Structure 1
Amino acid sequence: MSSDTSGDVRSDEFDELPMRIGVGQFMDPSEKRLRYIKQLGVDDILLNMYQYDPDYEHMPDDERMPLEGDGEWSVENLVALRERVEAAGIRLNAIENVPISFYEDVMLNGPKRDEQLEKLKRTIRNMGEAGIPIFGYHWAPAGVWRTGSDTVRGGATVSSFDADDLDDEYTHDREYTEEELWENYEYFLEEVIPVAEEAGIKLCLHPNDPPMERLGGVPQLFRNFENFKRAMDLVPSDNHGLELCLGCWSQMGEDVAEVIRYFGERDEIFYVHFRDVDGTVPAFKETFVDEGNYDEYALLALLDEVGFEGMMIPDHTPHLEDDTDWEHRGRAFTVGYLRGMLRGRVAETRGE
């Protein structure tokens, strides 16, 4: 694979790839994990870069940050990271997540908002120069919430959520209004989107999880179809779109097919988290990709129909017997299932 550090050239290379299966939700691209990913028949990954253990062996030494870290990544270290991945015959498509310090300073207009935004803008510029074309982010100051665990097929364990089990404590200093969150979000877009456009980086918005109206005194803006439409229209850009988490959309109880048609026809689906749940807010549990609320093959076929050409990764997966913390066994099942569906779709539509 090419080690060209030109963002424009590498973005074009990614744009020419077909719809395909990848993996993500890990931080440390060790040789062992990269070999395992390649063994699954996967050629594409994304990395979660900010919330990680500072003792991971394979992170660049001068970029090791504590779990609450708010640092930025240099061009040199991003190139080294990409080349480590490419040496295993794998493409580094994206980086996901923002620093924890963003929750209060940027999302809730804290005292270091502009300082944090400048760091992110430098990282986005550096990603463009290093040839990593996508940055996935969320707008969830209250974080991701689950209230317990449950079991699914064969006793595999999954996380669950039930609003009846919530307490009323604030996650931050007070209760925030929806108007405040929209104002802060628009400011973020106005600052960051021009930088992403200049750097050739695509920004991808993830839904709130769970998509409740509010949690811990903080509104969950990205809980429904209408709010996502508003988000995409606030600062219109070809470089801003969706990190389409099918599990979160399933939790919302929205018509997921309508969502895919709407944003797919606008070319605003940049990559997909492919998972499902049983139930919708205010109570649901995660499950195997073949046992949830929606018809998984119908949605994959629809993604193809609307012209989506990007990476689909297993998101949260059930914890299987003798699994690891990363659920490598659960992910292997989902990867194989998605690969089979994709191969069937290609054969169905292209005669291959």
Structure 2
Amino acid sequence: MIQLTELLSPRPEPEWRLIKQCGVNEVVGLLNGAEQDQRMFASVGAAGFGASRGGDSPWSEAAIRHDMGVFEDYGFTLVALEDTAPIDKVRLGLPGRDEQIDNVLTQVRAMGRLGIPTLCYNWMAISSWARTAIDLPGRGGALVTGFRAADLDGLEPLAQPGEITAEQLWGGLQYFLDAVVPVAEEAGVRLGMHPDDPPRPEVRNVPRIMSSPEAYRRMLSLRPSASNAITFCQGNFALMADDLPALIREFGRGDHIAFVHFRDVQGTVEDFRECFHDEGQNDMPECMRAYAEIGFSGPMRPDHVPTMFGETNDRPAYGTLGRIFALGYIRGLEQSAYGTRTRELG
């Protein structure tokens, strides 16, 4: 069976009760004030989660232990982190990267001691996921995010043309993996590289290198290890190739998938929109059967859902009602593909 999870910031909110009632016992956490906690909504012009907690560095063992306690108070076990200390100097190979890597090593060692086995990270320099619209009308008037490459011309560049190169990013990744993977192995932590979102060669003059299956094959070869693995974000991999279940089977048979974002899209990498989990262009039941075939039993969470009636769009793609819908959809597919089991009530 999978670990059905949700992404939560360690700041309790009323919807946590709903998520628990949907049968979610394990969660994926952001770090209070770390890179993705502060960047993921700012990148699409939204307010996000708010101010961070003061005190210890968010990636320190003390801070992560505190966050674990916050989740445990609501009946959740923290099984993965989807955040790191800032690492743009590492991505870009700039002075100061060793200090940033030291922060990641602090986090990885802390995760090992605290029993958190999965770390999701990405190689999107300067920004995070990119969208050119966050309020497109979807099914029944729900609001969805979308991307059109033709609309990028109206956005401010993030770098000058040629200022950052793809090989610069690859060099930074090699340096990162050489430093971090041995420590992750010792700690019993798997690193799951998230795809570029969207998986294009460049966005606003910043190259993106994790944007094709070939790039992932190259990444895995840079430092072969069970700790050098993939966050298989279906929405992005679906924009890279036509046969999503085949990619799941390819990477899964090598035990390279550490974590799954279960979602779908409509369109192409040059022009796409998010959608409800049951109306995308991919065969989602076949995707779940593929995970069952490869014996995947790690964390899986819904991702990028529509904002539904009665909700604000303060957190585009992360509305509560869409997530509740998605959790039920995923649980149904899981039981169909994996079979049922008696679940702990709580």
Which TM class, normalised by the smaller chain length? 0.7 to 0.9
Q: Does structure 1 retain, via aligned residues, the 8 Å contact 2:232–2:260?
A: yes
Q: Which residue number in structure 1 is paired with residue 46 of structure 2?
A: none
Q: Which residue number in structure 2 is paired with residue 217 of structure 1?
A: 205
Compute the displacement of 1:54 (Å). Answer: 6.2
Paired letter, 2:101: L
Structure 1 residue corresponding to 2:159, chosen from 145, 155, 172: 172
| Segment of structure 1 superposing worse, 310-319 or 145-154 | 145-154
Paired letter, 1:138: N
| Segment of structure 1 superposing worse, 75-84 or 139-148 | 75-84
Q: Which residue number in structure 1 is paired with residue 344 of structure 2?
A: none
Sequence identity, in percent? 36
Give the Cα separation in 2 of the matches to 1:327 and 1:72: 25
Paired letter, 1:76: A
Aligned length in residues? 320
Q: Does structure 2 retain, via aligned residues, the 8 Å contact 1:72–1:119?
A: no
Give the Cα separation in 1 of the matches to 2:324 and 2:246: 29
Matched, 1:318 2:306: yes
Q: Which residue number in structure 1 is paired with residue 132 of structure 2?
A: 147
TM-score by length of 1: 0.85
CA gap 1:97/1:173 in 2 versus in 1, 3 angstroms: farther
3-state SS, counterpart of residue 23 of structure 1 = strand
Matched, 1:334 2:330: no
Q: Does structure 1 retain, via aligned residues, the 8 Å contact 2:10–2:67?
A: no
Give per-residue Cα distances to partners, 1:165-189, cap 9 Å, x unaligned: 1128541355222222111110111
Matched, 1:270 2:254: no
Matched, 1:117 2:101: yes
Give the Cα separation in 1 of the matches to 2:144 and 2:234: 17
Give per-residue Cα distances to partners, 1:216-266, cap 9 Å, x unaligned: 222211111111011011101111211110011112234212211111001
Q: Which residue number in structure 1 is paired with residue 297 of structure 2?
A: 309
Give the Cα separation in 1 of the matches to 2:286 and 2:17: 31
Give the Cα separation in 1 of the matches to 2:91 and 2:156: 19
Matched, 1:87 2:73: yes
Structure 1 residue corresponding to 2:114, chosen from 115, 130, 138: 130
3-state SS, counterpart of residue 166 of structure 1 = helix
Moved over 4 A (4+): none
Q: Which residue number in structure 2 is paired with residue 67 of structure 1?
A: none
Give the Cα separation in 1 of the matches to 2:77 and 2:267: 35
Gaps spanning 5+ residues in structure 2: where?
A: 39-48, 342-346
Query: Superposition RMSD on alpha carbons, in Å?
Result: 2.1
Give the Cα separation in 2 of the matches to 1:195 and 1:225: 26
Paired letter, 2:306: P
Q: Does structure 2 retain, via aligned residues, the 8 Å contact 1:134–1:201?
A: yes
Paired letter, 1:178: A
Paired letter, 2:150: D
Q: Does structure 2 retain, via aligned residues, the 8 Å contact 1:196–1:239?
A: yes
| Segment of structure 1 superposing worse, 38-47 or 163-172 | 163-172
Paired letter, 1:21: L
